[in-house]
Every structure is written in structure tokens, then in C-alpha cells.
Structure 1
Amino acid sequence: MNPALRWQALPERARRAEQLGHLASLCLKREVETYPKPGLVSHVDNGAHRDMDAALLCRSADTLAPFFHELAAAGAVGAGMDRLRAIGVAAERAMLAATSGVNTHRGAIFGLGLLCAAAGYREALGIRKPLGEVVSQRWGKAIPDGPILLRSHGAVAARRYGAGGARAEAACGFPSVYDIALPALHAARMLAPDDDEAVRVQTCMALIAEVADTNLLHRGGAEGLRFAQDSASAFLATGGVGSSGWRKRAADIHQAFVARNLSPGGSADLLAMTLFVDRMGP
């Protein structure tokens, strides 16, 4: 069948779910295309990572697009948490196959996947609630009840340091996205109205400054988290991307993270989620 005719034949809801999947994948790529992000992989360098680069992350994002599409479609028909988990498990397997076993986006599959499901659910019902509120109300009670990856870096760090981690964040409706990142993103657009990359850097710094990132706890313990938060807070306190010379200051912080093997992967995932929520209006 002609691709154009096939597209026209798709029901509107299915077409919209596919669009949501592509948007989620694009937001992951936008996160990669942001520099300088302290310790993180970008189109410029690999940050504190030896096992991944920008090309690998983009390949992972492309691999996940159909699964985000499936999650949005599942949300649109009111699927429960068990169904969403099954799609997430399939997504993780596909990701690991595409990356030769490298965990590029496990956290994003979980968080961004739930937001896709919430977007599908919200649009199907025609409601106007924020996506985070939809996640909390629709699946919040079931989110903590699923199987826990006891050996995952985030789970180990969360247990050792008492951090809430990704599950608590999702069950509560993504407060780091709504209370920290979105306000920072909107304020950054006033500071740098013609520089989308600067807006993403500022938003990422705001997240690093305030989130108890389990990836930082895994790599650097409480001292590493404190160093990261203090560094990002100092960047923001001196004007952030609204001040002259901000790119050099941000790059210096990035190199300091690399030297300490620190990578705020949780904040990177939250940045991608924030970009998605912002595009969806929130």
C-alpha cells in the first residue's frame, strides 16, 4: 500500500499515539544535543562515560520510538500498570539489543514512557489535567508495587542513601519536572530567548542543583552529590546562561564532573521528560 494512503487509513487515535512516540524519541535526542551538561554525553564529547556516545544514545532513542508509541496507545485505552510494565520490559530488551548491552535509557523508558501513556489517556478522555497529575492519579498506587531491580545502580543508591529514586518521583506526579525544571525552563527563555540549547543547559543545571540524583550517589556517594549540587547552584547563582561567559563556566563544571567520574543521568532523563511535558503543554 502507498505509505500516504496507509497513513490516511490509520485511525486518528493511532496516528496521534505514533506522533507522541516520535516526540518522546525527539526529546531524548534534544537532551543529547545539549552542551555543556556536567558529566553527561553530548554531541561534543562523551562526558564521564566510556561505554556510550551521542550516536549510541540517538540510536537508542530511535529504537524506543515505537515503544513510546505503544505506551501512548495503551494509555489511550486505559491500560493498567501491568500492561505498561510489559511494554517497558520489551522496550528495555530492544534498547539493550540495539546498544550491545549498554543501559542508555532505562530511566527514560520508565519516566518518559509513563508520560506518553498519560498523554494518550488524557487525549482519549479529553481532560486538561497536567500529565504528571494523570500519572499519579491513574497509576500512582501501582507504581511502587512492581518488581525491583535489586542490582540496578539507582536501586542500590536509593537504598543506601535513602533517596526516593525514579519510582517515588513518578508516583508523586514528577515534582522535579513540575516544581523545578519547568519553572527553570520558562525563566531561561527570558534569559536566552533565541538560544534553545542555553535554555536546556539552564534547566539541566537547575535539576542537578536540587535533585537527589541516584546516578550521582552511585558514582560519587553523598560527597559526589553534594559537589554536583553545589557546582550547579553556584552556576545559577552567578546568573546562569544570562551572564557573560556562561559557556566557559558551564564547560569548566562539565570537566570537573568528568574528572570525578560524576554523571547526573537521572537529571538527564528528567530534562528529556521536561521537554516532552513542555511540548505537550504540560
Structure 2
Amino acid sequence: MGAVSLRSGSRAAAPVLACTRLGRKTQARFAREVARLAVGSLHVELCLYPKPGLVSPVDNGSHDDMDAATFMRSLFSLRHYFKKICLAGLNDAPFSQLKQLGIAAEAAMLKATHGVNTHRGAIFSLGMLCATAGRARAQGTPMTPAALRAAMLIRWGEELAMHAAPAALPALSNGLRVAAQYSVSGAREEGALGLPSVFEIGVPAMLAARARGASMTMARIDTLFVLMAHISDSNVYHRAGPQGAHIVRTSAQRFIDLGGTAYPGWHDEALASHRLFVQQRLSPGGAADLLAASCLVLAIAALDAGQQ
């Protein structure tokens, strides 16, 4: 399933020809649309409320160093990145090129936010999804959730695995330090496995909520709580250690066990979790990034379906 096997022999010509047939204007139009969906996915996550411990237009959650305006500046700084990395995927770029685009995007984000890390995890996960959408488009393959995950792993799986290997991880970020200390996974480990928390937890949770009649907002709330209950969030471990992670998981599981947003008192329950998280200085930012990524997967799939 490695990238090498798909870049040898006659099969390598197919995506190149497909991409050529698209034409530069068509490629640019598609990349702009995918970038719009990526920024939109981050924006709907920002605007979601009640959202335990996280920044929203209502309040700053557990944060003193950022607010909704900080996130908006960050979003604005990333719009060109998402287009560029989608175009890179369209043109069969190696992972090294995607990585450089991500590094430049992180620098732009930090400049826009005056050094505040608002979207480091999202730059990686949503960036890979944009590149994968470009790859799938160039090959003329479907962009269903399962097909997107397969396309990501087939083209960049080996490189993603090497990117997550211990030897490749300079101990710089809070996420990397937490991962080493508590043996929890972060964005790199997620990427190496094809974003399992997105494709195996987030997307199914959102689809299930919608299938039972939940609104988009309620489905996103449910999905966020499901992610909080199931992942080991390096953001939470960094701020509050294993004890904080236990509070996040048990609070989220209580919300789910009550029925999520199908429970008549769900709003009060979500607000109670929010107040508890703020009191304990808990911020499940990793779950928020994965929620945005889940929204993007479904938005790309809907875009593809609309173009069939």
C-alpha cells in the first residue's frame, strides 16, 4: 500500500493525464472551493456553542491568551495554504512538499495571532485532507470518506508513518512533549494511520446524529462529545495531565449516555460541562480540530456528489 508501488510502471501516467485534462483554470477553481470548505469547517467549529472549555464568539473558554477574533485572524491567514496544498495534491506532490507548505502556514498563523497557537493541529489534518481531495480529483476517483482515507494512505502513507516516527520528532511542541510523557497520540500519529479519529469516530458520529434527525449544529455538538470521550487529547494532557483527561472523558461520556442532543436537557448538560472545564482550565483543542476535519470530509464528499 506504499507510495512507491503507485509511482512505477504504466499506472503512474493515469493521474498525470487526468490532472492535465482538468486544465489549470479547472484545477484552480477546484482548489479554491476545497480551501473555502476547509476554512468554513474551521469557522463552524469556532462558532459552535456550548463547547466545553473552548473558544467561541460567546466566551474564551479556558483561555486567557486567545479569543474568537484571534481565531478569525488565524483562519484568514490559512486560506491560501489550503488552496496551495490542494493544488499540490492535484499535481502529485511528494510529502516533503506538503510538509513545507504546512511549515509556511504555521509561520503565517503565528504571525497573524502574535505567537498564539490556534490551529497547529488543524494545519496538519485539514491540510492533508485538502491534498487528498486534490489527489482524488486528479485521479478521477470518488471522494467518499472511505475513498479519501484510502487515497491518503496509498499516496502518502509511508511518508506519514516516517513523519510520525520518534527519530523524526524534534521535541519542540507541547504536543510532542505530552505524547512522549503520557504515550498519547497527536496529529502526526493520527496522520500516520490515516486520521482514524476522523474516519472511524468523528464522521460516523456526525452521520448517525444526522440520520436520527439532529440539526447540523446538534450533530456537531454530538460529534465533539463523542471525540472527547474516545481520544487522548494532547491539549488536555498538556494543561491538566491524566487527571484532567479523565474529567474530559467522563464528562463527555455522561453527555453521550444521556442521549446527547436527543436528551431534552442537553443544552444545560453541555453548559455544565463547559463551566466545569473552564473552572479546571481544560481545553480539548485536539477534539475541536478533529471535529473540523470531520466536517471537511463530509463537505468534500458532498461537493463531489454534487459534481457527479
Alignment TM-score > 0.5, same fold: yes
Following the alignment from structure 1 to structure 2, what is the Cα–Cα distance between the partners of residues 25 and 93? 17
Give the aligned partner of residue 73 of structure 2. 59
SS at match of 1:142: helix
Matches within 5 A, 1:52-201: 52-128=66-142, 130-146=147-163, 147-193=168-214, 195-201=215-221
The answer as to whether partners of 1:46 and 1:54 remain within 8 angstroms in 2 is yes
Deviation string 1:189-231 (CA, Å, 9 cap, x unpaired) is 24453x3221111100000000011111111111111110010
Give 2:299's aligned residue: 279
TM, length-normalised to structure 1: 0.93
Partners of 1:126 and 1:63 lie apart in 2 by 30
Q: What residue number does 1:217 align with?
A: 237
The Cα of 1:10 is off from its aligned counterpart by 6.0
The Cα offsets for residues 120-163 of structure 1, whole Å up to 9 and x where unpaired, read as 00001111352222222211211243453412111111001111
Of 263, 282, 286, the match for 1:266:
286
Are 2:246 and 1:232 aligned?
no
- TM-score after normalising by structure 2: 0.85
CA deviation after TM superposition for structure 1 residue 49, in Å: 0.9
The percent of aligned pairs where both chains have the same amino acid is 42
Whole-Å Cα distance in 2 between the matches of residues 112 and 75 of structure 1?
13
Would you say the 8 A contact 1:192–1:198 is kept in 2? no
**Partner Cα distance (1:89, 1:163) in 2:** 23
Whole-Å separation in 2 of the counterparts to 1:144 and 1:97: 29
User: How many Å separate the matches in 1 of 2:24 and 2:65?
Assistant: 39
- Runs of 4+ in structure 1 off by over 3 angstroms are 144-147, 190-193
Whole-Å separation in 1 of the counterparts to 2:212 and 2:57: 23
Aligned-partner Cα distance in 2 for 1:48–1:228: 13
Length, aligned pairs only: 273
Contact 1:134/1:173 (CA < 8 Å) preserved in 2?
Answer: no
The question of whether the paired residues in 1 share the 8 Å contact of 2:52 and 2:277 is answered with yes
Structure 2: 5+ residue stretches without partners: 1-22, 303-308
Instruction: Tell me the amino acid that sits aligned with residue 141 of structure 1.
Output: E
Q: 2-side partners of 1:15 and 1:190: how far apart?
A: 32
Residues 137 and 10 of structure 1: CA distance in aligned 2, closer, same or farther (over 3 Å): closer
Runs of 5+ in structure 1 lacking a partner?
A: 1-8
1:20–1:68 Cα contact (<8 Å) kept? yes
Equivalent position of 1:21 in the other structure: 35
